[in-house]
Amino acid sequence: MSREATITTVEAVLAEARAEIERFTPLQADAAQAEGDLLIDIRPLEQRRRDGLVPGAAVVERNVLEWRLDPKGEHRNPALARLDCRVILICDEGYQSSLAAATLVRFGLAAGDVIGGVQAWYAAGLPLEEAAVEEPVA
């Protein structure tokens, strides 16, 4: 097989990822969190400072997400790397979260993401809290 036969695009990878996950509107994600699903904010500190925190969401930055949510990994966060509930990821606009959620599905987690991310959360009139200078990260 030639190398050109394996070349893809980010749009194709994103479409494949989204076909593997459950997607939530901001209102659906808020309701799911209220019912016990885990909402995890994967944005970097500068975006959390700029736009605020999603109330009740755990913070696990994208660069360590797989290590914290691998249920069998030695660096997992046991409170988050759970097979008994859904994990809903939120990023800034809903792209990184889709790709990351598809990876979590490969770990056996029921994972999804918020359509439109924090920008859609804010546009839907849902609350955001001011970020502390150094808030805790899972």
The pLDDT tens digits for 6-20 are 889 999 999 999 999
- Please tell me the predicted confidence (pLDDT) of residue 61: 96
Dump strand ranges (E) for 1-138: 22-24, 38-41, 58-59, 86-90, 110-114
DSSP string over 101-122: HHHHHHTT-EEEEETTHHHHHH
Question: Taking the CB of residue 95, how many other CB atoms lie within 10 A of it?
Answer: 16
- What is the model's pTM? 0.93
Res. 130 pLDDT band, cuts 50 70 90: very high
Res. 83 pLDDT band, cuts 50 70 90: very high
pLDDT digits (tens, 9 = 90+) for 21-69: 999 999 999 999 999 999 999 999 999 999 999 999 999 999 999 999 9
Domains of the chain with CATH codes: 3-123 (3.40.250.10)
- Please tell me the predicted confidence (pLDDT) of residue 135: 62
Strands 110-114 and 22-24: parallel
R_g of the chain, CA atoms, integer Å? 15
The answer, yes or no, to whether residue 92 has pLDDT greater than 90, is yes
The answer, yes or no, to whether residue 5 has pLDDT greater than 80, is no
CB 113 within 8 A of CB 87: no
